[in-house]
C-alpha cells in the first residue's frame, strides 16, 4: 500500500484554558520559573523540569532565515550533512496563548513551549555532549527563537531511565507584531520526555499525559522503530495509540512534528530473510505516520529516503542512531520546514559538527558496552520470532511464491488498521 502524503490539517481548536496552578508569564526583567512539571513518583528516575522566560529586552534578531536544501551525494559533497527532503504542508493551525499569560507580543511574551515525545532518536542517543545526550530536538530548540542566551539542563552522566531532561532557553528581542511560535521576543521552554527503548504504548500512556500538562505549542512525536523490533508488533494497536496521542496534542493547539524512519534491518545490514520482515513492519509504521500527519496537518520530515540512509557519515557506529552530523541534519530539516510555515525565527542549526567524530576505539567501546546490552535484550525478545519469520520467507522462496503472500498479508493488516483508525 502506498503511504499517503501529509497535507493540510483541520481548523485550529479554541484557545484552551490555563491549567490550574500554572504561574502566569512574568515580565522581561525576571528570572522566575514560568512553568514546572513535577517528577512522577510512580516512575523511578524522573525529575522535575523548570523553565525560565525572557530575562531582558534588546534589539530583535533578524527574522530572515536561509533555507537549507538537500546536499547532493557525490564525491565532492559526501561529507556534507544532507537535510532530508521535505513534504509540502498547508498553512499551520493557529497556536493559542494560555489564558492569563503574557501579552501576545513584545519581550514579555510567554515562552514557546516545545515538547518532545519518542524513543532514543529524540532522546539524542549518538550525540553526546558533556556526559549527556543532546540530539536533534535540543539543537532545533535553540533555533526556534531569535537568540538563545543560556542553554542549561544537560545532566552529567546522561539520562536516567524514565527520566526527564529540561533545558532552560531564554531569548531577548523586541516584539515585531503578531507573536506566533518562535517569534522574536519569546524564550523557548523545552521538555524532552523521550526515553531510549520507548514503544508507542510508552508514548501514549506515559509521555503524552505529561506533555499535555505542559500545554506545548510544538510537539514532536517520533516513535515506532522499537515496536517493529518486538514480537508483540501489532500495526492496528500502534495506529490507535499514535492517533490518540496526535488527537490529544492537536486538541490543545500543538503543531505536530513527525517523521518516517528507515527500516532497521536495512540499516543493520541483516541478511534478506531477516531484513524483509522488519522492512514490512517499518513500511507499515511509516504509512500510519503519513496518514496521521495528513490528518493533523503535521510538519513531516522524510528520514527513510536514500539521501538520509545511504550517507554513513550521518550515523553512529551502531547504524541505528544518528551521530552528531545526523542529529544536526534532522534538526536542520525540521527547522527549514518550520521556518517555511513561519514557526521558527532563530538561526537554523548548523549541519557541521562542532567536535571531532568519535575515534574507532571509542566506537568499538560503545558497541562492546551499550551495543552488547541491546543485542542481548533483543535476542530474548525479537530473535526467536524473527527466525520464525525468516523461516517463512525461505519456505515461500522454496515453493516458488516469493514474498508476494507475505507482502499481501502485511498490506491487508495495514489497510484494516488505517480503516479502523481513520474511519474509512
* pLDDT of 301: 97
pLDDT exceeds 60 at position 322: yes
pLDDT digits (tens, 9 = 90+) for 90-136: 343 333 333 333 323 444 557 889 999 999 999 999 898 888 889 99
Distance CA 75, CA 79 (A): 9
**What's the mean pLDDT in 262-290?**
89
Give the domain ranges of the chain. Answer: 106-424
The structure's pTM equals: 0.67
Residue 57 makes CB contacts below 8 A (sequence gap 6+) with 28, 107, 172, 173, 174, 185
Q: What percentage of the chain reaches a pLDDT higher than 70?
A: 58
pLDDT exceeds 80 at position 150: no
- Say if residue 337 is exposed, middle or buried (CB neighbours under 10 Å; 0-12, 13-18, 19+): buried
Q: What is the CATH number of domain 106-424?
A: 3.40.50.1110
Compute φ and ψ for 36, nearest 5 degrees.
-135, 135
Report the DSSP pairing between strands 218-222 and 255-260.
parallel
**What's the mean pLDDT in 52-65?**
29
Range of weakest confidence among 100-109, 203-212, 216-225, 340-349: 100-109
Average pLDDT, the chain: 69
Amino acid at each position: 500500500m502506498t503511504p499517503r502524503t501529509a497535507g493540510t490539517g483541520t481548523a485550529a481548536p479554541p484557545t484552551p484554558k490555563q491549567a490550574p496552578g500554572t504561574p502566569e508569564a512574568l515580565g522581561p526583567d525576571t528570572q522566575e520559573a514560568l512553568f514546572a512539571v513535577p517528577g512522577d513518583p510512580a516512575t523511578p528516575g524522573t525529575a522535575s523540569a523548570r523553565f525560565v522566560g525572557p530575562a531582558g529586552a534588546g534589539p530583535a534578531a533578524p527574522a530572515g532565515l536561509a533555507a537549507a536544501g538537500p546536499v547532493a551525494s557525490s564525491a565532492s559533497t559526501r561529507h556534507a550533512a544532507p537535510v532530508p527532503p521535505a513534504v509540502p504542508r498547508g498553512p499551520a493551525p493557529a497556536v493559542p496563548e494560555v489564558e492569563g499569560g503574557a501579552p501576545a507580543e513584545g519581550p514579555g511574551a510567554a515562552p514557546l513551549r516545545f515538547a518532545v515525545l519518542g524513543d532514543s532518536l529524540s532522546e539524542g542517543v549518538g550525540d553526546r555532549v558533556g556526559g549527556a545526550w543532546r540530539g536533534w530536538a535540543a539543537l532545533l530548540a535553540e533555533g526556534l527563537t531569535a537568540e538563545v542566551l543560556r542553554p542549561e539542563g544537560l545532566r552529567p552522566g546522561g539520562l536516567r531511565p524514565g527520566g526527564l531532561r529540561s533545558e532552560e532557553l531564554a531569548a531577548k528581542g523586541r516584539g515585531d507584531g503578531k507573536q506566533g511560535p518562535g517569534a522574536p521576543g519569546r524564550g523557548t521552554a523545552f521538555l524532552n520526555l523521550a526515553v531510549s527503548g520507548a514503544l508507542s504504548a510508552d508514548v501514549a500512556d506515559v509521555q503524552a499525559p505529561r506533555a499535555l500538562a505542559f500545554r506545548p505549542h510544538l510537539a514532536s512525536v517520533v516513535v515506532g522503530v522499537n515496536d517493529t523490533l518486538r514480537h508483540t508488533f501489532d500495526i492496528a494497536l500502534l495506529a490507535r495509540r499514535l492517533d490518540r496521542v496526535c488527537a490529544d496534542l492537536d486538541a490543545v493547539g500543538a503543531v505536530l512534528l513527525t517523521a518516517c524512519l528507515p527500516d532497521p534491518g536495512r540499516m543493520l545490514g541483516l541478511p534478506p530473510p531477516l531484513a524483509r520482515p522488519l522492512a514490512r513492519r517499518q513500511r507499515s509504521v511509516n504509512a500510519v505516520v503519513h496518514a496521521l500527519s495528513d490528518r493533523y496537518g503535521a510538519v513531516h520530515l522524510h528520514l527513510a529516503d536514500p539521501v538520509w540512509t545511504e550517507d554513513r557519515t550521518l550515523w553512529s557506529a551502531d547504524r541505528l542512531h544518528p551521530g552528531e552530523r545526523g542529529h544536526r541534519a534532522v534538526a536542520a530539516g525540521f527547522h527549514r520546514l518550520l521556518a517555511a510555515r513561519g514557526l521558527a525565527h532563530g538561526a537554523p542549526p548548523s549541519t557541521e559538527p562542532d567536535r571531532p567524530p568519535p575515534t574507532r576505539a571509542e566506537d568499538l567501546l560503545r558497541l562492546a558496552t551499550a551495543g552488547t546490552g541491546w543485542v542481548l535484550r533483543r535476542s530474548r525478545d525479537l530473535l526467536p520470532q524473527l527466525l520464525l519469520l525468516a523461516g517463512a520467507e525461505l519456505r515461500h522462496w522454496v515453493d516458488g511464491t516469493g514474498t508476494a503472500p507475505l507482502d499481501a498479508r502485511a498490506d491487508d493488516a495495514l489497510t484494516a488498521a488505517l480503516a479502523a483508525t481513520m474511519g474509512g
